[in-house]
Amino acid sequence: MKYFFCFLYCSIFSGICYANTFTVSTDSYPYINNTNDSIFKIVSYNVENLFDTKHDSLYNDFSFLPTGIYRWTPYKYYNKIEQISRVIANIGQWDYPALVALCEIENKNCLQDLTRRLLHAQYSFIHFDCEDKRGIDVALLYRPQVFQIIDSVAIPTNLEDKSRDILYVSGITNSDDTLHIFVCHLPSMRGGKSTSDWKRTQVKRIIQTHIDHILNHNHHAHIIVMGDMNSEPTNDLKGLHNCMIQFNKNNQGTYKYKGIWSCLDQFYISSSLLNKNTCYIYNPDWILQTDNKYLGKKPKRSLNGLRFDKNGYSDHLPIIIDIVL
């Protein structure tokens, strides 16, 4: 019955593009032993401009070419792949997250290279090419041994300035629970918060429509909306709770701008998961650096202006939610 519902849900939406999946085939690794654990670990991470070095004629990716302003050479690209894979691997401590939602991924090539660096995790991924002007997308890494995909679709935002689509994925866990996952990278605050709020509001209305549809069919459905919301956390999706509000109140965050921390990266969860989760920001010292201008610490980026830091990662910190299923 679970399978029938999810197929019906995905097929009735209009204007939706179906996404492709890519599987990395490897032998099994005996030290990966969490396939039967009750803790289901999910990560959301804006990796900041993970571009390959090849030009895509459909997008404005000229800055991230060997001849572009960032002099984005194969060395810099593969160093970035190595650094991001290090973060994901360390989050799990060899017990890799079941799902990793990614923002600012250019294309399938980047995901293939990233999953190859995480070969022991045996990740597969779901990705689609959106209409963002620069060609940066969202994607979902998943471990097939703990999460079996039912369906996946790309939900367009219908914004005139070609923003990122919303990735919807449904799947079954080893505990036979169905999860409904939405991966988002909402429009930025470029031009000012007040002048861009309507764009994020429009995208959230689209997400809300899909949430309502799911909950109307099953009031106890497990729903998770995650990604870079490009705004402070609020409980603005009806039927869901924003887990990151607690951190925002304590001057903690995933992104630092002019000395101020903000929780731009967020998890929304349905009421069925409220008493079954632990949410936290992943902020070990080695992915931080001293903030000489505003004091304290800030995320260690791979690009500071035009300067490349081989020891950098992203301007965002990852967030993690452990769910008991």
The tens-digit pLDDT sequence of the chain (325 residues) is: 444 344 344 443 434 443 444 433 333 222 334 444 489 999 999 999 999 999 988 788 999 999 999 999 999 999 999 999 999 999 987 789 999 999 999 999 999 999 999 999 999 999 998 877 787 899 999 999 999 999 999 999 877 776 789 999 999 999 999 999 999 999 987 767 767 888 899 999 999 999 999 999 999 999 999 999 999 999 999 999 999 999 987 779 999 999 999 999 999 999 999 999 999 999 999 999 999 999 999 999 999 999 999 999 999 999 999 999 9
Burial 151-184 (b: 16+ CB within 10 A, else e): bbbbbbbeeeeebbbbbbbbbbbbeebbbbbbbb
Distance CA 272, CA 274 (A): 6
Burial class, 280, CB count within 10 angstroms (exposed 0-12 / middle 13-18 / buried 19+): middle
Distance CA 321, CA 6 (A): 23
Kindly report the CA angle at 124 between 233 and 152, in degrees rounded to 5? 60
In this prediction, residue 191 carries a pLDDT of 65
In this prediction, residue 151 carries a pLDDT of 96
Domains in the chain with CATH codes: 2-24+36-324 (3.60.10.10)
